Amino acid sequence: MSAGGEVALVPYTDILRQECPRLRILVVGKSGAGKSALINAVFGVEAATAVSHRTPGEHDIDKPLSFPGNDRIIIHDSQGFEGGEEANINKVFDFIDRRSKMQALGDRLHAIWVCAEIPFAGSRLFENGVERILKGYQGTFPIIVVFTKLDLLREQKEGKLEKALEQQDRVMEDKEFEVALDTVVDEGVQELCVKPLCSLSPEYQWIATSTRREPRFKKTITDLVQLALELTNIEKVWIEMAIAQRSSAKASIEASIRIGRKRYWRGLLSDIFLGFSMRSVLDVLQKDIVNVWNMPDPENHLKKPEFLSLLSVLVEDLSDEATNNYPLTEKAVQAIIEHPTSIIITGPTAVVVLFAEWVRGTFRKTKSSLRCLTAFIVDLTLTMDTLFYLTLSRGLPPMTIRLVSQALRIYKARKGPVHNSIRTWADSLGTFTHLDADVVIKKIAEIIMGNSVKPEQWEMREEGLDESWMTMDALRES
């Protein structure tokens, strides 16, 4: 029960967290193959804690690595198989067998990533031990084969291609050159990696990656996340994987939609929220959406009421009345936050009263409510999406108020068409009794997907913002 005597709405992500606190992955591969760099790139863990400078042999499969910067992931790093030592191989087999049978979902091994450096200089692709693992677990466990350091292969092929053109006295346009280079790189991966893998077992899914920060290679990391999700057939592990990773905004958005579909988005039309205050409905939505993105936020800025009140500014133009009137005042919102049951509104017009009423009141199934809650979900998700790219481009620093404000402003400048589509759609709907929850959820998902940031269009904007929360009026006027 909350202070107000209300049974609390529990975020789905909190329930999941109890059942499966972390995603557990085993990474296998020679020392220097790029395992730690890959984990850093996918899960956004600080390089200092993850890139190991251990000598081979110090890895202990039963002493997993955890990361203070991202507590949703736990990595078991297998010892190398240099020399094909029988004892090591058996240890890995034993570990996989033990961990796949464990009772609690959180203790179980969820995936194996076999990492092998692309052998462009003629070395061997897999060690004996790795070959035995691949043969031993065909079709029984979600294993992805990751061919690493694709950038080095590309560099080598680029040099060769340039030389070949020079010898033939040919000149190529940049674009044509890129296409030709892509082709020879793909052929190289097929020849050096895919062929030997298929001769071992044709069943495995593979991907060639690089942890270099250029867009072309970043895409290989988001593709790896996508592949890892596709291979996961336990729904909770799927969501845990999408939460743990910090490289694909698409995966975070899809996880939000899955969670929304399960629970609270349905509540917009059903009776789940009846009797609850709007404040607790908004709170639970805020928590679930923020948790899904799993951004480094040690001070919990994204769960603060200040963020919630700024989000409510984004939504207010969709409240019931015309928007010419001065909207919800700063004072009214402070009152809502501090004294949810004794709000005093001074001097506002009808819209203020109506919107404040809505935020402070009890959930009711009305068109205006549906419109505003839909917008709240969409606006929060798209603000998080913007924030994701803002922080990713800065190397995932701990969250600051400045970054949150910047994301709110950038999204606010983009939200016009988003709100138009919400308004048009809501206006076209019939009465509540004829609404199908799946149709509503599908629409929310469609609006979010259609308006998410496209990485290739992303441009960074630097603005002089303070390290304190802006006022609601400042956001309105921006």
Ligand X SMILES: Nc1nc2c(ncn2[C@@H]2O[C@H](COP(=O)(O)OP(=O)(O)OP(=O)(O)O)[C@@H](O)[C@H]2O)c(=O)[nH]1
Of residues 48-67, those binding Mg ion (CB under 5 A): 52
Of residues 155-184, those binding Mg ion (CB under 5 A): none
In the bound complex, what is the minimum distance in angstroms from residue 278's beta carbon to Mg ion? 48
Of residues 114-173, those binding ligand X (CB under 6 A): 148-149, 151-152
Closer CB to ligand X, 37 or 229, in the complex? 37
How far is Cα 449 from Cα 453, in angstroms, rounded to an integer? 9
**Partner interacting with residue 32 (select from Mg ion, ligand X, none; CB below 5-8 Å by kind):** ligand X
Amino acid (one-letter) located at 391: T
Of residues 189-228, those binding ligand X (CB under 6 A): 210-212
Site size toward Mg ion (CB under 5 A) is 3
How far is Cα 314 from Cα 359, in angstroms, rounded to an integer? 13
**Partner interacting with residue 37 (select from ligand X, Mg ion, none; CB below 5-8 Å by kind):** ligand X
- One of 12, 23, 24, 36 touching Mg ion (CB under 5 A): 36
Of residues 50-109, those binding ligand X (CB under 6 A): 51-52, 54, 56
**Residue 76: beta bridge partners?**
26
Site size toward ligand X (CB under 6 A) is 19
Q: Is 83 left (phi over 0), alpha (psi -120 to 50) or beta?
A: left
- 400 makes contact with Mg ion (CB under 5 A): no
Closer CB to ligand X, 146 or 310, in the complex? 146
How far is Cα 54 from Cα 409, in angstroms, rounded to an integer? 44
DSSP letter for each residue of 395-416: T-PPP-HHHHHHHHHHHHHHHH
Instruction: Name which of 276, 263, 274 is nearest 6 in CA terms.
Output: 276
Amino acid (one-letter) located at 352: V
Asked if residue 130 lies in contact with residue 29, where contact means CB atoms within 8 angstroms, the answer is: yes
Instruction: Give the binding range for Mg ion (CB under 5 A) out of 45-53, 275-283, 409-417, 437-445.
Output: 45-53
Instruction: Give the binding range for Mg ion (CB under 5 A) out of 32-40, 362-370, 384-392, 463-471.
Output: 32-40
Instruction: Give the binding range for Mg ion (CB under 5 A) out of 33-41, 114-122, 130-138, 230-238.
Output: 33-41
In the bound complex, what is the minimum distance in angstroms from residue 408's beta carbon to ligand X? 35
DSSP letter for each residue of 68-127: TTEEEEEEEEPPP-GGG-HHHHHHHHHHHHHHHH-SSTTTS--EEEEEEE--TTS--SS-
Q: What is the CA radius of gyration of the chain?
A: 26
How far is Cα 2 from Cα 280, in angstroms, rounded to an integer? 10
DSSP 370: H
Of residues 23-42, those binding ligand X (CB under 6 A): 29, 31-37
Closer CB to Mg ion, 65 or 272, in the complex? 65
Closer CB to ligand X, 11 or 34, in the complex? 34
How far is Cα 172 from Cα 162, in angstroms, rounded to an integer? 10
Instruction: Give the binding range for Mg ion (CB under 5 A) out of 44-52, 167-175, 362-370, 453-461.
Output: 44-52
**Partner interacting with residue 142 (select from ligand X, Mg ion, none; CB below 5-8 Å by kind):** none
Asked if residue 422 lies in contact with residue 378, where contact means CB atoms within 8 angstroms, the answer is: yes
**Partner interacting with residue 31 (select from Mg ion, ligand X, none; CB below 5-8 Å by kind):** ligand X
Instruction: Name which of 147, 134, 288, 132 is nearest 227 in CA terms.
Output: 147
Q: Which residues bind Mg ion (CB under 5 A)?
A: 35-36, 52
Q: Which residues bind ligand X (CB under 6 A)?
A: 29, 31-37, 51-52, 54, 56, 148-149, 151-152, 210-212
